[in-house]
């Protein structure tokens, strides 16, 4: 597994080695020991989630606060998405900045989105199957959403805005400056 820090160093691109031949391919999608060694701390993933979405579906931007805050390791099993992580750690040198990475069934890239970041994605292909690990369960009362089109974030979702398909909930999310945030000086992995 190859790990690459993005322009926001806590957000990591994970690229498995692909072993392919005329029969197909094989990858190690997750390797706890190598990720722990790279990060210097262990993430205790407790749940795997999967969603299916059609082209233009935009999910996000979401995160959870408190003891339910989540680290996510996300990947695409079918199709292609633009995956986005937004730094929501008040006091961080990269606060309000984001990373956008194309994840696809073809490139097999994954994105590690740590605690303290909002997460979202938009589907670029006709359909996509999106899979992710989390280290805390979903907790409705702890969930926070940020407007996908917050002008201070300036996210390029790669599709025309008229083609977006959003939930009613995501259409009503507030701006980044209106939500409860993480504190950059707190280590959420202790």
Residue 36 Cα distances to 3, 14, 106, 123, angstroms: 11, 13, 26, 30
Q: Residues 118, 85: contact at Cβ < 8 Å?
A: yes
Q: Residues 15, 4: contact at Cβ < 8 Å?
A: yes
Respond yes or no: is residue 132 known to be catalytic. yes
CB atoms under 10 Å from CB of 14, counted, come to: 22
Tell me the CB-side half-sphere exposure of residue 148, using CA atoms within 13 A. Answer: 26
Distance CA 122, CA 128 (A): 10
Identify the active-site residue in 41, 62, 63, 189. Answer: 62
CB atoms under 10 Å from CB of 24, counted, come to: 7
DSSP states along 36-68: HHHHTS-----EEEEEEEETTBEEEEEEE-GGG
Identify the active-site residue in 63, 98, 119, 132. Answer: 132
Residues with catalytic function: 62, 132
């Amino acid at each position: 597994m190859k790990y690459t820090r993005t322009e926001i160093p806590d957000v990591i691109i994970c690229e498995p080695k692909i072993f392919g031949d005329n029969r197909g391919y094989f990858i190690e999608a997750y390797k706890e020991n190598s990720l722990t060694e790279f990060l210097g701390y262990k993430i205790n993933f407790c749940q795997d989630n999967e969603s299916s979405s059609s082209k233009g579906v935009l999910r996000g931007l979401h995160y959870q606060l408190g003891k339910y805050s989540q680290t996510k390791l996300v990947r695409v099993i079918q199709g292609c998405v633009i995956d986005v992580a937004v730094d929501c750690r008040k006091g961080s040198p990269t606060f309000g900045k984001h990373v956008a990475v194309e994840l696809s069934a073809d490139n097999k890239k994954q994105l590690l989105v740590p605690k303290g970041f909002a997460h979202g994605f938009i589907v670029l292909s006709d359909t996509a199957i999106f899979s992710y690990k989390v280290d805390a369960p979903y907790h409705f009362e702890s969930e926070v959403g940020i407007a996908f089109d917050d002008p201070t974030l300036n996210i390029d979702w790669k599709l025309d805005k008229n083609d977006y398909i959003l939930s009613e909930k995501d259409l009503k999310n507030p701006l980044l400056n209106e939500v409860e945030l993480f504190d950059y000086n707190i280590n959420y992995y202790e």
